[in-house]
Amino acid sequence: MHQIFQRVIALAIKELLALLRDSASRAVLIGPPIIQLLVFGYAATFELKHVPFVVYNQDQGQMSREFIARFSGSPTFDLLRVVHDQKSLQSAIDDKSALMAMDIGPNFSADLEAGRSAHIQLILDGRDSNTAGLAIGYAQSIVTTFNQTQIAANGARAPAAVLLNRAWFNPNLDSRWFIIPGICGILTLLVSLLTTGLSVAREREMGTFDQLLVTPMRPSEILLGKALPGFLVGTVEGSLILIVSVFWFHIPFTGSLLALYFGLFCFLLSTVGIGLMISSLAATQQQGLLGVFLFMVPAIVLSGFSTPIANMPLAVQYITLIDPLRYFLIILRGCFLEGGSAALFWPQYWPLVLIGMISMIIAGRLFRSQLA
C-alpha cells in the first residue's frame, strides 16, 4: 500500500515538474488564463453604451428638442448627426454609421401640446438583432420617463399602472457580475482539460509510455498519478481566477467559500476524468488537443454561459445534463451572487461526481484496452 502511494506521488510530482520546468507549457498554463479573464472581463458585456443614432427632426417645436436631448444625454446613445431628409436617414443605417435612426414628424410638439399622442418612428439596424433588441429596450425606458415627466408637468391624470423594477442579487443589473463567474468556470475547464488531455499522448509520442508500463505501476496507478496534477493545477488556477474576480473586478462574493471549493472539487473530478478519457483515446498530442477543443466548444455553448438553457429546445436541454460546466456555473453564480451555501447545491454536486466517476472508469477501460 505504502509503495503504491509512493509510486503515485512520484508520478504526480513528475507530471508537475514536466509541466512547470518547461517554460513553454508553464507560460501556456499561467499567462493566457489570466489574460483571458482580464480581456473577457472587460470585453464581454451585454450592456449597450454609445449607440450612434441620427435624427431627422421635421418638428420645429421645443418638445422635440427636449425629446432628442433625453436620448443624446443618456450614456446609451450618442447623437451622430442631425439629417435633413429621409434619404440621408436611410443611408446612415445602410452604411452602418448609425445603428438607430429617429424620425420625428412635423406635428410632434403641436400634438403633445394639444394633449394628443405624438408619434415618433425609430428605425433600427436589424442585421445585428441582438444589439437592436437591446437598443429598443433602452429607448423604451427613455420614452417612458419622458411620458411621465410630461404627465406630471401637464398635471394630467397619471397612467393606470406603473411598473417598478427591482433586480435582486445584482441591483444595477451589471452584466459583468453575471459574466465573470462564468468565465471562471470556462477557464478552469480549459486549464484542467489541457493539463490532463495531453499527458498520456505526450508520453506516447516521446516513447516514455512504454517505459512507464514496464515498471511495476498498474494502469490504475498511472491514471491516478496523472489525475492528481490536473486537480492541483485546476485548484490553483481556479483560486487565482477567483482572486482576480473579487479583488480586481469587485464582483461581490456573498456565498460560502466551502460550498464553492467543494463544487470546484466535484467539477475537477468530472473534467479531469473527461481529460483522461480524451488522453487515452489520442495517439498524438495533436489529436489530444483536437479532442479537448471538440469537447470544450459545445460544453461552453450548452452550459448556459451566454444563452439560458431554458430557451433551448427540449432535446438539447437533455444533452446539457451531461455538461459539467452547466452545474459548475450554477454553483459559481450561486456562490458569487446569491450567497448560496453547500446545502443549496446538492442537485449540482451529485451529477458532477457521477460524471467524474463514469468518465474515470471509461478512461481506465480505454487505457487498458489501448495496451492490448
Partner 1 sequence: MDAVLVRNLSKSFGKGAGRRDALKNISLRLPVGSMTAIIGPDGAGKTTLLRLLAGILTPIADEIRVLDHALPQEALALQSQIGYMPQRFGLYEDLTVEENLDLFASLHGISHAMREHRFNELLTMTALGPFRQRQAGQLSGGMKQKLGLACTLIHPPQLLLLDEASVGVDPISRRELWNIIHQQVISQNVTVLLSTAYMDEAERCDHVILLHEGEILAQGSPEQLAAPLQGHAFMLGDIPTATRNLQSRIAQMPGVVDTVIQGDGLRIVMQEAQPPRLQDGLASYGQPRAVPARLEDAFVSLLFSRSVRHVVPLPPHRDNAHDGSTIVEVIDLCRNFGAFTAVKDVSFTVRKGEIFGLLGANGAGKSTTFRMLCGLLPSSSGKLLVAGLDLRKATAAARARIGYVSQKFALYGALSVQQNLSFFATAYGLSKQHRQERMKWAFEELELQEYATMNASTLPLGYKQRLALACALMHEPDILFLDEPTSGVDPLARREFWARVNALAEGGTTCLVTTHFMEEAEYCDHLVLMSLGEILAQGTPSEIKAKARRDDRPNPSMEEAFISLIEEHEQPTRRAS
Residue 149 vs 284, nearer CB to partner 1: 284
Residue 294 vs 371, nearer CB to partner 1: 371
Residue 60 vs 208, nearer CB to partner 1: 208
Residue 25 vs 131, nearer CB to partner 1: 25
Report the site for partner 1 in 156-215 (rule: CB under 8 A).
206-215
Using rule CB under 8 A, residue 371 touches partner 1: yes
Binding mask 222-261 for partner 1 (x = CB under 8 A): ----------------------------------------
Q: Which of 99, 98, 115, 96 is nearest to 107 (CA)?
A: 115
Q: How far is the CB of 10 from partner 1 (least distance, A)?
A: 4
* Choices 18-26, 111-119, 129-137, 335-343 (CB under 8 A): range interacting with partner 1: 18-26
Q: Which of 329, 321, 322, 323 is nearest to 345 (CA)?
A: 329
All three cell numbers of 126, joined, read 436589424
Residue 17 vs 243, nearer CB to partner 1: 17
Give the dihedral of Cα atoms 36, 37, 42, 48; nearest 10 deg.
Answer: 100
Report the site for partner 1 in 23-52 (rule: CB under 8 A).
25
Residue 7 vs 326, nearer CB to partner 1: 7
User: How far apart, in whole angstroms, are the C-alpha atoms of residue 258 and residue 266?
Assistant: 12
| Contacting residue, 70, 218, 296, 358, with partner 1 by CB under 8 A | 218
Classify 307 in phi/psi space as left (phi over 0), alpha (psi -120 to 50) or beta.
Answer: beta
| Contacting residue, 155, 216, 313, 347, with partner 1 by CB under 8 A | 216
Where does this chain bind partner 1 (CB under 8 A)? 3, 6-7, 9-11, 13-14, 17-18, 21-22, 25, 206-218, 371-372
